[in-house]
Structure 1
Amino acid sequence: MVKLNYMQCWNGAMALLGAHKEAILAIAGVFLFLPTFLFAQFVAQPILTGDEDLNGLLAVYTPYLNENALAIMASNFVISFGGLAIYLTLAPSRNTTVADDLITALKAFLIYLIANLLTGLLVLPGLFLFVLPGAYIWARLVLAPVVIADRGERNPVGAIKKSWSLTQNNGFSILLFILIIAVTGTITIGAVQAVVGIIVGLATGGAGWPFIENLVASLTGTAFQLVLAVIIMSVYLELTGKKRDVTEVFN
């Protein structure tokens, strides 16, 4: 059984990013960054005081969700579609154009959504059991989208089962690796946004400039999503032994 090597996964992820940067940046710009930025610009976020209890949060978010349900769903669908297209672009079994990847993503999108929904249903009970069981289940199922992209799996249950099989004995390793990346990325994004907020605040006398702040938040969020995508693909390559195929592409 292959054991996950963090350094090889990280190096493989950065190599993937470098090898496919033009294609994935084009897809990310249209399907990840643009909907995120437009949503931030035109949908006002609920204002919290920080003192809300559960009932207070429900009172704030219920009207927000009711008023913006269509925008939230449309934005998430576009971003999800872009994520699948990026996985298709990174898949070692494919050597196609961006247009071909987008067409394939459109054909497989429903399967992808169902697989994500089933994953959520499996993870949710575990999250209620002190969080860790749910996080572990998520780590075991995280490769399901990659299975759909690389192996042409069109059965969402089959994709989930294959991910569970591929991640055997590596669930906690995957969870820890992605958690390290997520924490590091969150801290970095927070620091960048804080610096930009200070600069914009000083430049505008404390009034702020939402356009710039939303732009920076959308750019950093998109970059973080891309890093997570290549990390997950690199984990898949590591566990399936397909690193040789990727190396040939780089050379």
Structure 2
Amino acid sequence: MTFDMNRAWRGAMDMFSANREVLLIVAGIFFFLPQLLASIVLPDMSGAMANPEDSQAMIAMLTQIYTNYWWLFLIVVLAQGIGFLGMIALLRDSSKPTVGEALMAGLKALLPYILASIIMSVIFMMVFVLIVGVLSITGIPALAALGMAIALAAFFYLGVRFSLLTAVMAIENILNPVGALRRSWTLTKGHSVRLLLFYALILVAYLVISLVIGLVMGGLVLALGGSTIGLFLNAVVSGLIGAAATSLFATLLASIHHQLSGPSTQAIGSTFD
């Protein structure tokens, strides 16, 4: 089987259309509201960002923000993790869980997902150390630069091979971190290039849309003189875009998973009931 980008996109659109209301509700609760809360609670960083040359001041402000508001970042990350896993669980083809059941599945998969993410981070770090570290020992700048390029390519490759981790956990209910990573690796075997191209196209489209809307909202904020209302509207629009994009990405991962794994045994059996 060859990964079909058009089929994946059509499948995602069908899933999104069929589950639009519940997906957007979950995205609104677990993505939009936490991001809006963070934008309201976190201090304004425009002063530091306006002078990027002063890196020390920027680092000091970021350090202070993370130190003072670590609890807020933790809440946002955990909420988004549960919400994202829950949204994908809603798209199972073997069963149609309720929103509550899907969110419970997301909650159960959260800790295994965090452990799997830690394992992935270790793998990425080992790859970086082995490639860049070895070539940097030579002391030749060209080889060190080559090592960085190879490491970057390896990161993209590993990212693609592990990209179905959330789908495997939420849809197949594989909660063993190593088993879930291994399953994602198996599903994406032979499809790395096409998947990377597909993800790149989606990312470029998202960045273009975000850039256009960001320019419009930035102009609106300037027109309002940087007032609180303007900043709040900008935060609301940014949060809505993020929630909608997250819902769409969840359907894309589910669609890719369905295509590469094939219909489940339960789904095949249900067609003959």
TM-score by length of 1: 0.88
Is 1:43–2:42 an aligned residue pair? yes
Cα shift at 1:243: 9.5
One-letter amino acid of the counterpart of residue 39, structure 1: A
Task: Summarize the Cα distance change of 1:125–1:40 in structure 2 as closer, same or farther, 3 Å threshold.
Answer: farther
Paired residue total:
245
- The separation in 2 between residues aligned to 1:214 and 1:124, in whole angstroms, is 34
One-letter amino acid of the counterpart of residue 76, structure 2: S
Indicate the residue corresponding to 1:76 in structure 2. 77
Indicate the residue corresponding to 2:210 in structure 1. 189
Equivalent residues of 1:4, 1:173 under 8 A apart:
yes
One-letter amino acid of the counterpart of residue 11, structure 1: R
Unaligned ranges ≥5, structure 1: none
- Cα deviation, 1:74-93, whole Å, max 9, x if unaligned, reads 11111111001011101222
Alignment of 1:21-170 (within 5 A): 21-46=20-45, 47-48=48-49, 49-52=51-54, 58-126=59-127, 129-130=148-149, 131-170=152-191
- The separation in 2 between residues aligned to 1:126 and 1:227, in whole angstroms, is 31
Equivalent residues of 1:141, 1:164 under 8 A apart:
yes
One-letter amino acid of the counterpart of residue 52, structure 2: G
Task: Summarize the Cα distance change of 1:197–1:81 in structure 2 as closer, same or farther, 3 Å threshold.
Answer: same
One-letter amino acid of the counterpart of residue 7, structure 2: Q
Cα shift at 1:207: 4.2
- The separation in 2 between residues aligned to 1:92 and 1:117, in whole angstroms, is 29
Is 1:173–2:173 an aligned residue pair? no
Is 1:217–2:231 an aligned residue pair? no
Q: What's the % identity of the aligned pairs?
A: 25
Equivalent residues of 2:160, 2:192 under 8 A apart:
yes
Indicate the residue corresponding to 1:12 in structure 2. 11
Cα shift at 1:33: 0.8
Cα shift at 1:124: 4.4
Cα shift at 1:137: 0.2
Q: Which moved more, 1:227-236 or 1:41-50?
A: 41-50
Larger Rg: 2
Aligned partner of residue 69 in structure 2, secondary structure: helix
Indicate the residue corresponding to 2:139 in structure 1. none
Task: Summarize the Cα distance change of 1:237–1:52 in structure 2 as closer, same or farther, 3 Å threshold.
Answer: farther
Cα shift at 1:29: 0.9
Cα shift at 1:122: 2.4
Indicate the residue corresponding to 1:228 in structure 2. 249
RMSD: 2.4
Equivalent residues of 1:37, 1:215 under 8 A apart:
yes
One-letter amino acid of the counterpart of residue 5, structure 2: Y
Equivalent residues of 1:144, 1:159 under 8 A apart:
yes
- Cα deviation, 1:103-161, whole Å, max 9, x if unaligned, reads 22222221122122222332345567432211110110011111111111121100000
- The separation in 1 between residues aligned to 2:120 and 2:14, in whole angstroms, is 28
- The separation in 2 between residues aligned to 1:64 and 1:102, in whole angstroms, is 30
Aligned partner of residue 90 in structure 1, secondary structure: coil
Unaligned ranges ≥5, structure 2: 133-147
Task: Summarize the Cα distance change of 1:133–1:194 in structure 2 as closer, same or farther, 3 Å threshold.
Answer: same
Cα shift at 1:56: 5.9
Runs of 4+ in 1 over 3 A off after TM superposition: 55-60, 123-129, 205-208, 243-246
Equivalent residues of 1:88, 1:105 under 8 A apart:
yes
Equivalent residues of 2:24, 2:243 under 8 A apart:
no
Equivalent residues of 1:91, 1:146 under 8 A apart:
no
- Cα deviation, 1:150-194, whole Å, max 9, x if unaligned, reads 111121100000000110011122122111101110110121121
One-letter amino acid of the counterpart of residue 215, structure 2: A
